[in-house]
Every structure is written in C-alpha cells, then in structure tokens.
Amino acid sequence: MKNAGYDFLIVGSAGNSNNGIYEKTNKPNKYGYLRNGTDNTQSANTDAKYGWHLAAIENEQLKKRIIIVGSVGLDSPIPFKCSTFSNGGNRVDIFAPGEDILSTTPLGLDYSQFPKALKGYNVLSGTSMAAPFITGLAALMLQVNPDLNGAQIKSIICDDNNKRFSLSDSIGVIHNIPNGEKCVKQAINTTGIPNVTFPTGEIAGTVKSSAGVAIFDADICAIRKDYGEYNIDLELYNYIFGTDENGVFQGVLPAGNYDIIISSETFLPVVIENIEINPNETKTIPVELISYNPRNTNSHIEGKVIDAITGNAIENANIRLRKNWNRQTGTYVSDNSGSVLCVNTSNTGEFRLNTHLGNYTLEIEKDGYIIGYYNVISIKGDDNYISTFALSPILPDNEYRIILTWSDSPRDLDSHLCYYDNGNRVFHVYWANREGYVNETEVATLDLDDVDGYGPETVTITIDTSLIGNGSFEYYVYNFSNEKELSESNACVKVYNGNAQIDVVYVPQDLTGLEWYVFDITSTGITFR
C-alpha cells in the first residue's frame, strides 16, 4: 500500500504466549514450542518480535505505521500490572487494558462453556482485547484531524508527554499506557499531511532477439533504488511487467530511480541500471536479448569512434567495458588474467574487444572529449556490424549538443532545431539551412548530416541559454525517407551540456507520423516532451 502512494496505520496485538513452556535453546529470545515427548523444556518470557510476523518487521518506514499493543490489568494498590500472558520486549510500543474485557462473540458459539455469558457477549482476556482500545483512540484522532498520517498518529500515541502510566513488561522493558484526552488534543493541534497520490511516470519498450524477432514472453522487473525528489517516504519495491505478442511492455511506476531486469527463457537476461522515471513522462527502452549457449560464450565487440562535429576518426581513444547497460561507475570487465579489458582505437578509429556473450556499457575516453557511454551487446560470429560511436568535444557551460543516431532503416532521419522569440520563429536549422542567427550572431549549427542510416546527426547550440529571455528552442526529428515508421527506427537522441551527457531518450514505441518532437530549451533549462 505504501509503495502505491497510500498511507495506513496497523494496530496489532503483542501475543499471549508469554510464560509458556518451550524447548530450551541456545538462541536468546528464540524459543521453539514444546513438542510431545520432549523433556528439555523451560518456562520462559516471550519477546513479541518472535510471536507475530507484523511485530518482526524491521523496515523503519513500516514500523512507523505499526503499533504493537501489550496487555495490562487492574491491580491493587497500584493502578495497573502487566498481564502475565502478554508478550513483551522492545517491539511492544504501548500498553492498554486487556484483562476481563466485555467483548462480542460469535452468535453460534457454544455458550454451555460460558454459563455467565450473554448470547453474543463474553468477558475475555488477551492482547487482542487491548489492541482495540488503541485502534479506537487512533480512529478518534483521525476523526478530529483527517490530515494526520499513520506515522504521526503512532508518534502521538507513544509520546511520553501523553502517557497516563508507565510500567515494566515481563522482560523488563518500560511501556506507557496512553492518556486518550492528551492524545486527541495533540492530534487537533498537529499539522497533518494530506493523503496525496504520489506522482508516477511510465516505462515502455519493445523486447526483441538479436535477430530482430519480437519476444512475447519476456518478464520485466523494475527495482526501485532511490526516490529522488519524490516518494521520499516510500520503500524500495519491485514491479513486474510482461511483454505482449509484439514484444511490447508498458507499466506505471512511482517516480524515482530504477534498475530494470529483462529476462526470458533461453536468453541471457539484461540489466539496465539507473533508469530515471519522472512524473507524467514515459521512458522508452528498446531491448535486445541474446540467445544463450553455455557451450560457447566467447564473443566480441567492435566499432569505430568518430568526432561528432567533423565525422573524422579518433585515434587512441581508450575503450573499456562494464557489465550491464547504463552503468557508468564501478568495476570494469577483466580479461582471463584478471587485468582490466582495455584497448585503444587505431589510426582509423577502429577497435575490437574479445569478451563473453552479454550486455555491456562501453566507455570511450579521449582528452578534449566528453566521456561517451554506449549500451552494446556482444554476440557470436564474425559478421557483427561495426558500430559507429560519436564522441562530443567538451562544450562551454550553458551550451548544448544534440546527437541523433538510429538503425539502418529508415535511411534518412533529419534533425530540426527551431528558435522562437515570443512565439515567433526566428530561424530553422536543418539540412537545407545549417546555421541559425540571432541579431546577426550565429547561435546554432547543424554540424554533421547523415543520409544513409545509423547517423550520427549533430546539432550544437552555441548561445548562453540563460540569456535568451523569452526565447525558446524546439528540437524534433523528421523521417525524411519514410521507409518505415519512426517508432521502428531505434532512434536515439543524446543531449550534452558542458562536459557531461545529461540525458538519453529513445523514440516512443507508439509514435505515428513523420515527426518526433523531443524537447524544448528555455532560459530555465531543458524540458523533454
């Protein structure tokens, strides 16, 4: 419930197995129940933590919303005493009356066992009699202040300033009996937190084999790693989706950072790290799975590194690998001798890495360039397509570079960058107009154009975007050759700012038509559509 954005409060009983007969054990507070014929027994106090699954929960965010109630009874000359049957320990949060409580009973009960009981009622004892007192108090507090959340209610009930009495349980731990009037007054004067629905985004994509065949039975597991700006009070959780007959998956996730695991029988699983889900956005992820043959896992990765501005080959660029996709930190892949697997590009910009079947993040580093990270697969055979990897030279602060790549079809995708001032278009940079000017100053260029598949196409914005005032840039991709749908192109746009890559976006899987509007840039920054 909490991970779905709902708040709650659970009131549970501590259990009634204290002072029972148990098998002896060398593990403190962990007793097993007596078995018939066992002589190795003893009478022992019972820690509530080991008596009920809710009391055993260690998760702090959940414990804030679970109240475990122990039982007390009236005593003389002191007002209360801990019930001998009540489990105790640090997991008990509060005491309430639990002895000789008039309670409802099932109408079908055999009342011959209870000669003094009225039909439908009986006098009972147990921590299950104590818990309703706290449940009723919590309900009354919520009635006077509906904006209180579960953690606030528990905090008020367990507050030492709101106690009526304190006494020790059977294990020697001190607990309070709450003063209901004080709790309600504090609830009235506490600023509540309205129960809101946490913002969500979507994850979507298509899973295919390396041969391009849709995989209809793949499982997608999204594991939340952190909360970012949202869901600060939520816990880590796993979300499971599946692909349809076309290999397509789509699911709603609370905003946050995730690792995504895609798996299917007879294929190597793929792990994609650090996927940021933003509110009201859909993150598209195209995935290729590799058929697994345990008898032969040797394979290789090869490619060519070029300058994203000039298209020229880059010599002596350093190439290394990390396991999984989107992994920009951590251990590099090693060779059989235990040394980091590393090669440099040749004078033609080409390289080859011999490795095992799998999915990797390729890291390319060269002085004067922004470090490039690329998701690659390593498959068997000598007929691998030699991929081209475009490195962006380092930019001044507040300038942007946009690099578009795609698959072999459609052959020609085009980058388009428009600049607007107060809603009026000032210029349009594309293949037929490669420079854009504001007040006779060049502020944008189409650096590199590609017309035969794969890309890259590179656009650079050279104006300090903090100075553009009411101006705005609009970037979109146009399917010039129209040989297949844009959604089938595997189009990818990488955006760089200063000396860092700030985002990677893939063409939406449900896109129709010839145009893909990717983002806008204003004086406040970049906004992806």
- Ordered DSSP codes for 139-192: HHHHHH-TT--HHHHHHHHT-GGGEEEEEE-TTS-EEEEE-HHHHHHHHHTSPP
pLDDT for the residue 105: 76
CATH of 200-289, one of 3.40.718.10, 2.60.40.1120, 3.40.50.2000, 2.60.15.10: 2.60.40.1120
Domain with CATH 2.60.40.1120 in the chain: 200-289
Contact 1, 8 (CB under 8 A): yes
**Could you tell me which residues are beta bridge partners of residue 242?**
219
pLDDT for the residue 341: 93
pLDDT for the residue 31: 45
pLDDT for the residue 106: 75
Q: For the chain, how far is it from start to end, CA to CA, in angstroms? A: 30
Who's near 131: CB < 8 A, 6+ residues apart?
A: 11, 12, 13, 69, 96
pLDDT for the residue 499: 87
**Cα 92 to Cα 469: distance, rounded to the nearest angstrom:** 60
pLDDT averaged per 10 residues, the chain (length 529): 67 86 53 47 74 80 90 83 91 94 75 65 89 96 92 94 91 93 95 71 90 89 70 60 91 88 90 90 88 76 93 96 93 90 95 90 95 89 68 90 92 95 92 92 93 91 78 94 88 91 89 92 84
pLDDT for the residue 111: 62
Q: If you search the block for the tokens 């994509």, which residue do you land on? A: 205
Domain with CATH 2.60.60.30 in the chain: 395-529
C-alpha radius of gyration, the chain, whole number: 32
pLDDT for the residue 408: 86
Domain with CATH 2.60.40.10 in the chain: 295-392
pLDDT for the residue 29: 45
CATH of 295-392, one of 2.40.50.1070, 3.30.70.520, 2.60.40.10, 3.40.50.720: 2.60.40.10
pLDDT for the residue 419: 94
pLDDT for the residue 177: 95
**Cα 81 to Cα 177: distance, rounded to the nearest angstrom:** 11
Helix-strand-coil percent breakdown of the chain, rounded to 5?
Answer: 10, 45, 45
CATH 1.10.40.30 fits 395-529, yes or no: no
β-pairing verdict for 492-497 and 400-405: antiparallel
Whole-Å CA distances, 251 to 240, 451, 505: 9, 35, 17
Name the residue among 310, 203, 309, 199 with its Cα closest to residue 254.
199
Under DSSP, is residue 111 helix (H, G, I), strand (E, B) or coil? helix
β-pairing verdict for 200-209 and 287-289: parallel
pLDDT for the residue 292: 74
